[in-house]
Structure 1
Amino acid sequence: MTPAPGLLISAPSSGTGKTTVMLGLLRALAEDGLAVQPYKSGPDYIDPAFHMAAARRPSFNIDSWAMPEALIGGISRQSAGADIIVAEGSMGLFDGVATRGESGFGSSAETALKMGWPVVLVIDVGGQAQSAAATALGFRQYNPDLPFAGVILNRCASPRHERLARLGMEHAGVKVLGVLPRRGDLALPERHLGLIQAVEHPDLEAAISGYAKFLRDHVDLAALKSAAKAGAAADGPLPPPPAQRIALARDAAFSFTYPHLLTGWRDAGAEILPFSPLADQAPDPSADLVWLPGGYPELHAGRLAAAATYLEGLRNHARTRPVHGECGGYMALGQALIDKDGTRHRMAGLLGLVTSYEKRKFHLGYRQATLLAPMPGFDAGARLRGHEFHYSTILEEPDAPLAQVADADGNPVPETGSVRDHTTGTFFHMIAEAST
């Protein structure tokens, strides 16, 4: 496969507007008749759903800390048939972890280098003018090997402001690919874990169409397309399925599953059987495995507690066959979930876990785990890589630990997951098995 040319949209920091730039660019290029393949650098599992809505093509994560090289090759193969690749970075361009993982440190710059994609840096020029050029110059020179396409200047206040900012970029020898005027209506809605889910946006199609028009009016799309470069061809396997028939919870309470996992499962012939706990649907009784992914069960705890058909079907399955939950799914498998108002909701009770949002505590970061017991798809002793991102606090976790878990630097973390009979759960979202 000859790789399509690509770009990576990044920024000096979070909050500069790169996601709205990304969505507008994806849709504008698609409107021009191009097959656009989106990617997300890093472990973010919300943005890919927005990417797919904008590009009308599934988006995949590429994570140089958590993923072995072969898996990154398999994910890059998903761009087959695309005319252009557009990837979105996470955090700041060079932000990663301190300790090298199986492949690297996990920064967006590392992804761009690995894939051969020039960087487009989105710079918020609010409160500065020529000084923004010093930021751009520093980012371009921090790693001279990093391909650098140019900058998009965001939140420009006036024509005079634009002239001054452009003057600084010209002096620094940095190419300006676009200048976006300041607009207060371009921000995507957020909640405590960042953006709301794509399925919850009140009018996502209209928002993306608006972003595309805005980008088309203020960005040199021809120059962006010309700046895209193809990297080396790569290939490799996607993760195999943990079972042949997988009942997957899928609704506003359970929505966070990494796209490369589902694609790998389907490609290997597994059948995905979606069901909605919020609609009080039971998992398919013929399923070999029930999988509850992450999401926002704390926002729907009352409905989940009252969903008798779902709970009965889940408990019946767990008597003889495996059930696994990640993060929100793990909490839903527990004994109880206490919401932010202090109300206690009874959950499935397949594990003894009790969690609370009454006193929020932020848990964020990469996780590396060695299984102490089997879980679906893996034997005891398997080493996994994943990511944890939630605000819940554990009040009780009485079951046997599922794994020894540490952060990216090897420091132990207390959220070890649980195992009881046929039920397992973790607070981290699995990304890949570590390379051997």
Structure 2
Amino acid sequence: MIKGLLISAPASGTGKTTVTLGLLAALRAQGITVQPFKSGPDYIDPAFHTAAAGRASFNLDSWAMPKGALGHMLTHAAGADLILAEGSMGLFDGVALPGETGSGASADIATLMGWPVVLVVDVSGQAQSAAAVALGFAKLRSEMPFAGVILNRVASPRHEALVRAGMETVGIRVFGALPRNPDITLPERHLGLVQAEENPELEAILQRAATFIAAHVDIAALIEAANTASFAADPSPQSPPPGTRIALARDAAFSFVYPHLIESWRQAGATILPFSPLGNEGPDDSADCCWLPGGYPELHAGKIAGATIFLQKIRRFAETKPVHGECGGYMAMGAGLIDKDGVRHEMAGLLGLVTSYAKRKMHLGYRRARLANAIPGHAVGTGLRGHEFHYSTILEQPDTPLAEVFDASGAIVPETGSLRRQAQGGIATGTYFHLIGRAT
């Protein structure tokens, strides 16, 4: 069995993504094959993991995934020497009501898998007191394996010595101490990091991060602290494909789709046919369905509105075949998108949906849906689990509601999704949530 570790932190913004990327790149430079994973519903970080490790990264989610699906994710580690999973938010942060196997917290994944936690602790503004933070995280859940800490944003050798002394007093192992380093900062925007494919400096940043981590972290000790997963891999595909030949929009405006979905579709025998709306491309005529992922259509609304070939081809495709959109893809299927400056851009018009960024409002959280109408790959009545994260608001939604949608607490969510049937048999559907998988 392949051994693994989970890199987490007390809170967001402590540097765990930078540490994870640096470790992945440093291990790869040493000839160690590492399989990356991301805990939680994040569709941006896995692309950075993939760039650093040279292997596709996949999400692990205790709220949305049953044990079988989590076990299936382990099949992607075949051939690796080590598993390195990155947590999300703080180690114990999740929702109040458990889902399929937990609350969505990174601690759930560490406990289920048996992977020891390495806590990235931002020690700026404190010294020995950091030991109390680390000790609390190590002891809060006795069943969770805990390996030790990596100190981040260390001000000086004296500062490091004081923090190390505090950790030694309470028996917390220190794997490394990282001074401040602005040379490996990744740019951000409103939904998180700027996408990996949009950062021309990414390779150079990863090289600097690898050198930095190798110089300040005891990588050999980290590898020694890793542990094997506590349950077996499950080879069964978990998500039915929406068709046998799937036209998938894929570019800087449409890229937010969970990697495990695409891989599961392939494993079930489906063929993926990517196309770029920003490149003025439309879905392949040989496809039997079209899937428009989320992304950043608001940053490219003018270009999408001017992509006449894309608009013509997807409208023709939708006359006789199913088209489904998630979040940004859903908005692009609508009648119009109003950008942050109040300018309206005409979209594909497959749905009557009109959305706006002129007055930003954050919508964030897990979603559970019961389909009132079918979508490609999922019949009426199917339960789905997903996640929603966007800043747009709905101004008009005249079409048939697609599903009953609830948040993680069971409260009704007004964004039901949409359905519109075409005269020649085609069907257009869309949701604001990104599908993670079926509910059990």
TM interval, short-chain normalised: over 0.9
Distance 2:241 2:233 in 1: 22
For 1:196-235, what aligned pairs fall within 5 Å after superposition?
A: 196-231=194-229, 232-235=231-234
Distance 2:366 2:431 in 1: 13
The answer to whether the 8 A contact 2:48-2:196 is kept is: yes
The answer to whether the 8 A contact 2:350-2:428 is kept is: yes
In structure 2, the residue corresponding to 1:286 is in which secondary structure? coil
TM-score between both structures, scaled by the size of structure 1? 0.98
* Structure 2 residue 17 is matched with structure 1 residue 19: yes
| 1:409 CA drift (Å) | 0.9
For 1:403-414, what aligned pairs fall within 5 Å after superposition?
A: 403-414=403-414
The answer to whether the 8 A contact 1:367-1:407 is kept is: yes
In structure 2, the residue corresponding to 1:216 is in which secondary structure? helix
| 1:237 CA drift (Å) | 2.7
> Which deviates further from its counterpart, 410-419 or 179-188?
179-188
Gaps of 5+ in 1: none
Q: Which residue of structure 2 lines up, in the alignment, with residue 434 of structure 1?
A: 439
Q: Which residue of structure 1 lines up, in the alignment, with residue 256 of structure 2?
A: 256
* Deviation >3 Å, runs of 4+: none
Distance 1:268 1:299 in 2: 34
In structure 2, the residue corresponding to 1:281 is in which secondary structure? coil
| 1:203 CA drift (Å) | 1.0
* Structure 2 residue 318 is matched with structure 1 residue 318: yes
The answer to whether the 8 A contact 1:357-1:392 is kept is: yes
Q: Which residue of structure 1 lines up, in the alignment, with residue 293 of structure 2?
A: 293
Q: Which residue of structure 2 lines up, in the alignment, with residue 398 of structure 1?
A: 398
Distance 2:157 2:164 in 1: 10
| 1:238 CA drift (Å) | 2.7
The answer to whether the 8 A contact 1:327-1:427 is kept is: yes
Distance 1:207 1:312 in 2: 40
Q: Which residue of structure 2 lines up, in the alignment, with residue 7 of structure 1?
A: 5
| 1:187 CA drift (Å) | 1.9
The answer to whether the 8 A contact 1:75-1:238 is kept is: no
Distance 2:133 2:399 in 1: 51
For 1:228-247, what aligned pairs fall within 5 Å after superposition?
A: 228-231=226-229, 232-235=231-234, 236-247=236-247
| 1:69 CA drift (Å) | 1.4
Distance 1:381 1:150 in 2: 46
In structure 1, the residue corresponding to 2:272 is in which secondary structure? strand
| 1:392 CA drift (Å) | 0.3
Gaps of 5+ in 2: 422-426
TM-score between both structures, scaled by the size of structure 2? 0.98
- Describe the superposition over 1:185-216 as per-residue Cα deviations: whole angstroms up to 9, x where unpaired: 32210000111111111211000111000000
- Describe the superposition over 1:351-371 as per-residue Cα deviations: whole angstroms up to 9, x where unpaired: 010000000000000000000
| 1:184 CA drift (Å) | 2.3
Q: 1:38 aligns with which of 11, 36, 51?
A: 36
Distance 2:127 2:183 in 1: 23
The answer to whether the 8 A contact 2:184-2:206 is kept is: no
For 1:431, the aligned partner's letter is I
For 1:274-293, what aligned pairs fall within 5 Å after superposition?
A: 274-293=274-293
Q: Which residue of structure 1 lines up, in the alignment, with residue 424 of structure 2?
A: none
The answer to whether the 8 A contact 1:373-1:380 is kept is: yes
Q: 1:153 aligns with which of 151, 154, 172?
A: 151
The answer to whether the 8 A contact 2:183-2:208 is kept is: no
Distance 2:268 2:370 in 1: 25
Matched-pair identity in %: 66
The answer to whether the 8 A contact 2:130-2:166 is kept is: yes
Q: Which residue of structure 1 lines up, in the alignment, with residue 362 of structure 2?
A: 362
Distance 1:76 1:60 in 2: 9
Q: How many residues align?
A: 433
